[in-house]
Amino acid sequence: MTRLILAPLLIAASPAPEPPKPLPSPPEIVAAAPAADWVAISASDLLVLDLAPLNAKPRRVIIQLMPPPFSQGWVGNIRKLAAARWWDGTSINRVQDNYVVQWGDATEKKALPPGLAVIPESEYSVKSRSIRASPFNTFLDASTYTEIGSIGPSLALSQPNGINRRDQYAVFNGFDQGWPFASSLANAWPTHCYAMVGVGRDLPPNTGSGAELYAVIGHAPRHLDRNIALVGRVIEGIEHLSSLPRGTGPLGFYEKAKERVPILSVRIGSEIADLPRFEYLSTESVSFARYADARANRRDAFFIQPAGGADICNIPVPVRRAK
Amino acid sequence: MTRLILAPLLIAASPAPEPPKPLPSPPEIVAAAPAADWVAISASDLLVLDLAPLNAKPRRVIIQLMPPPFSQGWVGNIRKLAAARWWDGTSINRVQDNYVVQWGDATEKKALPPGLAVIPESEYSVKSRSIRASPFNTFLDASTYTEIGSIGPSLALSQPNGINRRDQYAVFNGFDQGWPFASSLANAWPTHCYAMVGVGRDLPPNTGSGAELYAVIGHAPRHLDRNIALVGRVIEGIEHLSSLPRGTGPLGFYEKAKERVPILSVRIGSEIADLPRFEYLSTESVSFARYADARANRRDAFFIQPAGGADICNIPVPVRRAK
């Protein structure tokens, strides 16, 4: 009891503590990252989706394809489909609110190009040991979890396990080569975050060819992880998909042919002469660790209560046009 | 070692097990819920936002206001603003992709009606003990977490702690009277899930009056929990907000006045004669527990890998028009 009474007196006798200064926001940390922390994205790893113009304005959606070890069977098929100009003249056929935008051949009768691989379900994940180690990927197990009430705002850099890194869908999670993943002890898989691009399929054991694609435009549907292949993410132009009118049919399919959004062309980025260059913030960099910590513990002037954690899909990997 | 060797032999000597039958999907569970599991939503707890028609079609957004113990100071202000017709003739001014749609007075000069409360930051959360106990809300602590690899698809009903209920932003979470919340040991607060409606504000200690509102149209921005007041959720017509063109100014504000979406009127539901009646699936019901379990462990025919868990924002509370 004595201590409870004395403490306020001691505080009153000391000089008033200065209020903590606001710390950089996530965008400020990203803007201050040195050039060496940015990694160029090869144009040959981009898929460029040109929709019919809207009000005379072009609509270009740029997708980054996923690198090894993830989903390379489907990515290979997608490269073949683009090379064959297979998507030219197809359309966006489904826009389901808080879920996905889906495109491909609405007739479901267009012949696929020869040589596409049939990929087994086992390719939805990879061995955990194929993920690169990094400071951020320090795998947490139950014994290192810290209850959020006792964490307080401390930098991830000095206390890498201090951030609440729980994952409701996995044992742990992290980033590899700029991509979010979740993992069990044995296997790792990419995660269905906003703007991720996946492969539509029929009922199992069908795994889809890659001809039917979707992009996530809502809260992360993580229940799709390990049930559908993810092959990339939209890095520019997502608004051309997310702001489309919602379909009124079951699952958000457009009910009338005229509602569909025509696709003019889909090309690999290296086929397009004037394409901007893109780069992502290395998820192995100190800048990224600081950014992720700031996403989990906002201390810029607007915030009064740092969260103490962030889910993997609330730490979007920064991607920008290269200067 | 002996048991490890014997087990496969025993299995081989038994008749081949039948493959498990697909179980009901979340929508099927909801459709089969008895009438007694649905709770009527009073028209006096609805806020009806009528936007200017688009292509001669009306655009109505229906928001359910939050019940006690949450955010009642702001909800009271919102009732007064609607009664004063304060929003009539204002507009939607901000649409930021994967974040929020925001509306109010673009001039920031319109006088507020008299008698609005000034609400302290402490009202962003409530005492945990004011949350009603329910089977779903069995609070999990670290000692009851089960690693996902060892769970397998088991019904939540028979094993309520078998679902991975981790929360990166809180110690635990649950549902109260149809609303998602997160909680520390001492306090509970509503969560920023898709379609939730909150109160825009200036820098702290400003907490906002309720005149400037936003709806979440992207991945749950849970870092806003306990930093901004949540006052409701869109229960019908979210597509009229989520499919709006994105603003091209900072934070997604529209740069030109003509881009703003006019608001014709905002009324409390009981002022509108022909409003449909709505109801939500009781989050205290067995049907809801089965639904939440199915969201966490999809076993319908499309799925090959139940997730073993779901984050609180990936278990949207079913709301429908009453028959």
Range of weakest confidence among A184-188, B130-134, B169-173: B130-134
Please judge whether A223 and B170 are an interchain contact, meaning their C-beta atoms are less than 8 angstroms apart.
no
Q: From B303, which residue of chain A is nearest by alpha-carbon distance?
A: A227
Confidence of residue B140 (pLDDT cuts 50, 70, 90): very low
Cα A270 to Cα A290: distance, rounded to the nearest angstrom: 33
Question: For residue B261, which amino acid is it?
Answer: V
Each residue of A155-196: pLDDT tens digit? 222 233 445 566 788 877 888 999 999 988 789 999 999 999
Question: Which of A148, A164, A303 has its CB closest to that of B227?
Answer: A303
- Give residue for tokens 């319908």: B300
Task: Residue B308: list chain A partners with CB under 8 A.
Answer: 169
In chain B, % of residues over pLDDT 70: 83
CA-CA distances (angstroms) from residue B29 to A214, A268, B24, B34, B165? 26, 43, 6, 10, 20
Give the pLDDT score at B246: 98
- Give residue for tokens 């088991």: B154
CB pairs under 8 A between A and B: 168
B 197-256 residues with CB < 8 A to A: 203-204, 218-223, 225-227, 238-239, 242-246
Each residue of B253-287: pLDDT tens digit? 999 999 999 999 999 999 999 999 999 999 888 88
pLDDT at B144 over 50: no
Tell whether B162 is within 8 A of chain A (Cβ): no
Cβ neighbours for B14, distance < 8 A, ≥ 6 positions apart:
none
Question: Which of A98, A149, A168 has its CB closest to that of B185?
Answer: A149
Please judge whether A307 and B239 are an interchain contact, meaning their C-beta atoms are less than 8 angstroms apart.
no
pTM of the predicted protein model:
0.89
Phi, psi of B146 (to 5 degrees): -120, 130
Mean pLDDT of B208-232: 98
B 96-155 residues with CB < 8 A to A: 97-98, 121, 124, 142, 145, 147-149
Task: Residue B227: list chain A partners with CB under 8 A.
Answer: 298, 302-305
Mean pLDDT of B70-93: 98
Task: Residue B298: list chain A partners with CB under 8 A.
Answer: 223, 227
Give the pLDDT score at B18: 67
Confidence of residue B75 (pLDDT cuts 50, 70, 90): very high
B 9-68 residues with CB < 8 A to A: none
Sheet of strand B278-281, all strands in order from the earlier edge strand to the far edge: B38-41, B278-281, B319-321
Question: Which of A148, A194, A301 has its CB closest to that of B218?
Answer: A194
Give the pLDDT score at A17: 60
Give the pLDDT score at B146: 34
Q: From A236, which residue of chain B is nearest by alpha-carbon distance?
A: B97
What burial letters (b/e) apply to B54-91, b meaning 16+ CB within 10 Å? eeeeebebbbbbbbebbbbbbbbbbbbbbeeebbeebb
Give the pLDDT score at A164: 58
Give the pLDDT score at B184: 81
Q: Do B77 and B266 contact (CB within 8 A), yes or no?
A: no
- Give residue for tokens 């003990």: B129
Cα B127 to Cα B138: distance, rounded to the nearest angstrom: 16
Tens of pLDDT, residue by residue, chain A (323 residues):
233 333 333 334 455 566 667 789 999 999 999 999 999 999 999 999 999 999 999 999 999 999 999 999 999 999 999 999 999 999 999 999 999 999 999 999 999 999 999 999 999 999 988 887 665 554 333 333 333 222 222 222 223 344 556 678 887 788 899 999 998 878 999 999 999 999 999 999 999 999 999 999 999 999 999 999 999 999 999 999 999 999 999 999 999 999 999 999 999 999 999 999 999 999 888 888 888 888 888 888 999 998 888 899 999 999 999 98
Task: Residue A242: list chain B partners with CB under 8 A.
Answer: 97-98, 242-243, 246
Strand pairing partners for B54?
Answer: B57
- Give which of A169, A233, A238 to mutate to test B binding, by max B Cβ within 10 Å: A169
Q: What is the ipTM of this complex?
A: 0.88
Average pLDDT, chain B: 86
Cα B302 to Cα A121: distance, rounded to the nearest angstrom: 13
pLDDT at B153 over 70: no
- Return the beta strands (E) in chain A as ranges: 38-41, 46-54, 57-65, 91-95, 100-104, 126-127, 172-176, 179-183, 187-190, 196-199, 213-216, 230-236, 261-268, 278-281, 319-321
Q: Which two tokens stand for residue B251?
A: 């934070």
Higher-pLDDT residue of A28, B143 = A28
Q: Do B242 and B197 contact (CB within 8 A), yes or no?
A: no
CA distance A205 to chain B (A): 9
Mean pLDDT of B140-149: 32
Please judge whether A168 and B165 are an interchain contact, meaning their C-beta atoms are less than 8 angstroms apart.
yes
Give the Cβ contact number of residue B10 at 10 Å. Answer: 9
In chain B, % of residues over pLDDT 90: 68
Mean pLDDT of B237-259: 98
What's A309's DSSP letter?
B
Please judge whether B219 and A223 are an interchain contact, meaning their C-beta atoms are less than 8 angstroms apart.
no
Give the pLDDT score at A61: 98
Question: Which of A147, A171, A219 has its CB closest to that of B147?
Answer: A171
